[in-house]
Amino acid sequence: MEDFQDFEKLNINWFPGHMRKALRGVGDQIKRVDVVLELRDARLPITSQNPDLQNLLINKPSLILFNKSGLADPNQIKKWELKLKNESTKPFLFVDVKKRKGLSQIIPNSKKLMQTRWENLRQKGIRPPVLRLMVIGIPNVGKSSLINALACRGATQTGPKPGVTKHQEWIVLGQNAELLDTPGILWPKIHNTIDGLNLTLIGGIRDEIVGVESLSNYLIQLGRKRFPQKLLERYKIEGCEAQSSQEILHQIANKRGFFRTGGNVDIQRVSEMLLHDFREGLFGPINLDLL
């Protein structure tokens, strides 16, 4: 069986100019907000945090939202909840924006972080102002979908490709709150190749940075180690223990009838199908950061 060392030569980085500009913008705007909502992917609770954004959150009240929890392993979620309760100084919620799980807790929990400050204002006879929130995170963790859900609207552009939102925008919410949208931001240098591959699997990095064939090969290797039965059942393949990832790709393509003109296997198409199936949760709930 192949090893993940096969991928170590890959250089996986994606930090286009608009991200550098957006990072500066977040630094400028963060002092204007009361609470920061930091979105991460529940399948990658640690890897999907941006260390550069963490530096901006020092001394700023923040609430961590682990989104897409419906795609994450429930047993892993329980372990992460226990670990975070014991070790994290920040409040957190596991949410699923698509299923509206946990949405009703976000603004009340954000207001709790302002209770002391607001009580001091009340004692001085000052009415607490509108709660000003900022949402931050890497690309494709669901920021725009969260905003749509909180604002009960469908206007914010969303999509499966990372980097859709490229500007900052204030959105009026209910419950005496407003929110500043920010673009998805990565960091300039991803030092760990496996972290880069996992970030690409969840859509945080554009597929073309790695290449869909390389990424699908990694997914197959990961699947053989972590969820082999799900691979076998979904694609009706046999003997994958003795085959290379490339051979398995060919077998799946043959089963699905994915051929180019002339009869050659369409590796691009079968690779895209595998990635789509993973991202849609068709292999079942899976975590990439494990405890």
- Assess if residue 139 is contained within a domain: yes
pLDDT under 50: residue ranges of the chain = 1, 154-166
Instruction: Verify that 75 and 131 share a domain, yes or no.
Output: yes
Q: What is the pTM of this model?
A: 0.90
Q: Would you state the pLDDT for residue 238?
A: 79
The predicted-structure confidence for 148-167, as pLDDT tens digits, reads as follows: 899 886 444 444 444 444 45
Instruction: Report yes or no on 197 lying in a domain.
Output: no
Query: What does the pLDDT look like over 31-73, one tens digit per residue?
Result: 999 999 999 999 999 999 999 999 899 889 999 999 999 999 9
- Are 46 and 175 in a shared domain? yes
Query: Is 192 a member of any domain?
Result: no
Tell me the HSE value of 26 on the side-chain side, using a 13 A CA sphere: 31
CA 270 to chain centre: 24
Residue 190 domain flag: no
- 39 and 134 inside one domain: yes
List the one residue out of 161, 238, 152 whose CA is nearest residue 206.
161
173 shares its domain with 219: no
Is there a contact between 146 and 65 (Cβ–Cβ < 8 Å)? yes
Instruction: Please state, rounded to an integer, the average pLDDT across all residues of the chain.
Output: 89
Q: Tell which residue, 30, 33, 106, 26, has the closest CA to residue 66.
A: 106
Helix (H, G, I), strand (E, B) or coil at 239: coil
Using alpha carbons, list the distances in angstroms from residue 255 to 58, 214, 248, 278.
Answer: 53, 20, 11, 18
Look at the block and give the residue holding tokens 């550069």: 52
Domain boundary among 140, 165, 181: 181
204 located within any domain: no
102 and 25 co-located in one domain: yes
Output the CA torsion sign for 141, 147, 153, 157.
negative
Number of domains in the chain: 2
Domain hosting residue 127, numbered range: 17-181
The answer as to whether 230 is a domain residue is yes
- Which CATH number characterizes residue 239's domain? 1.10.1580.10
Residues 161 and 34 in one domain: yes
